[in-house]
């Protein structure tokens, strides 16, 4: 089983619908992140959480919200999806060590029509 | 704010040859960490190599090595003996020591040609 699991892997939704992307991890890491990947822009940080009671906005948080239900679970919600939120979304974790890399899930391909 | 730039959107290399991917970054910090991630068509993000800024020695991992030039804020990735499985998107990433967010560059799409 993957250390960082994202569900769903792919999703098509209609404009205006609410959608939730879920992420769970078995690495025991405190820190979890949501990134969005667009062609030519790399990965941009949406939200991050250093523990269950700590939620922080990233560089592109408008239109998104998150919930840290437990140390191992971090979900991303689009309250009212719009077409320019069509992208590849990644959840990642790290243990807070300065040199430790982020570990990524396999991504969710979201299409808003 | 920290930024990461990759000036080569696309590159290609013949199988068994060597290729170098460029990355520059901007920061006012003295201690930080740099990474190269590989994203094959499976879209999984895979760590290729990491470099700690306070270490002068360039990191190497098998066929992958970096040229870290701290004064120039440059962090290039060299892939030797390129293989077809190296075909992927490559992202350069920066992580400051004073906070815990990883900043990514826009990526370079590498194609290895048989």
In degrees to the nearest 10, what's the CA dihedral of A42, A43, A44, A49? -170
CB contact under 8 A, B107 and A44: no
Q: Please tell me which of the candidates B33, B42, B91 has its beta carbon nearest to residue A43.
A: B91
CB contact under 8 A, A99 and B35: no
Q: Which residues pair with A33 in a beta bridge?
A: A48, A92
Mean pLDDT for B46-67 is: 94
Choose, out of A30, A31, A35, A42, the residue to mutate when testing the contact with B (most B CBs < 10 Å).
Answer: A42
Query: Chain B residue closest to A56 (CA)?
Result: B101
- Using CB atoms within 10 A of its CB, is residue B10 exposed (0-12), middle (13-18) or buried (19+)? exposed
Residue B101, pLDDT above cutoff 90: no
**Rounded CA gap, A66 and B20, in Å?**
38
**CA–CA min distance B107, chain A (Å):** 6
- Using CB atoms within 10 A of its CB, is residue A6 exposed (0-12), middle (13-18) or buried (19+)? buried
Q: What is the pLDDT of residues A14-51, one digit of tens each?
A: 999 999 999 999 999 999 999 999 988 899 999 999 98
Q: Please tell me which of the candidates B42, B44, B100 has its beta carbon nearest to residue A96.
A: B100
CB contact under 8 A, A42 and B47: no
Q: How confident is the model at residue A1 (pLDDT cuts 50, 70, 90)?
A: low
Residue B22, pLDDT above cutoff 70: yes
Q: Please tell me which of the candidates A42, A58, A92 has its beta carbon nearest to residue B91.
A: A42
Spatial contact of A21 and A108, defined as CB atoms under 8 Å apart: yes
**CA–CA min distance B38, chain A (Å):** 12
Number of C-beta neighbours around residue A74 at 10 A: 28
Is B105's Cβ below 8 Å from some Cβ in A?
yes
Q: What is the pLDDT of residues A53-110, one digit of tens each?
A: 999 999 999 999 999 999 999 999 999 999 999 999 999 998 876 667 889 999 999 9
CB contact under 8 A, B104 and A44: yes
Query: Chain A residue closest to B94 (CA)?
Result: A101
Spatial contact of A103 and A5, defined as CB atoms under 8 Å apart: no
């Amino acid at each position: 089983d993957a250390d960082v699991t994202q569900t769903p892997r792919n999703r098509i939704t209609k404009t205006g619908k609410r959608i939730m992307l879920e992420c769970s991890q078995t690495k025991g890491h405190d820190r979890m992140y949501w990134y969005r990947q667009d062609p030519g822009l790399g990965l941009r940080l949406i939200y991050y959480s250093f523990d269950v009671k700590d939620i922080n906005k990233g560089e592109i948080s408008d239109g998104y919200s998150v919930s840290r239900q437990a140390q191992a679970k971090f979900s991303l919600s689009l309250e009212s999806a719009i077409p320019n939120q069509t992208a590849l979304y990644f959840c990642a974790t790290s243990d807070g060590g300065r040199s430790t890399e982020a570990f990524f899930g396999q991504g969710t391909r979201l299409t808003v029509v | 704010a920290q930024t990461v730039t990759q000036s080569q959107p696309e590159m290609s290399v013949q199988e068994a040859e060597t290729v170098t991917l460029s990355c520059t970054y901007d920061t006012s910090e003295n201690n930080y960490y740099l990474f190269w991630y590989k994203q094959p068509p499976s879209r999984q993000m895979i760590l290729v190599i990491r470099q700690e800024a306070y270490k002068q020695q360039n990191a190497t991992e098998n066929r992958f090595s970096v040229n870290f030039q701290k004064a120039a804020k440059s962090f290039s990735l060299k892939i030797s003996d390129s293989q077809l499985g190296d075909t992927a998107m490559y992202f350069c990433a920066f992580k400051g020591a004073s906070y815990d967010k990883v900043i990514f560059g826009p990526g370079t799409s590498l194609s290895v040609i048989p």
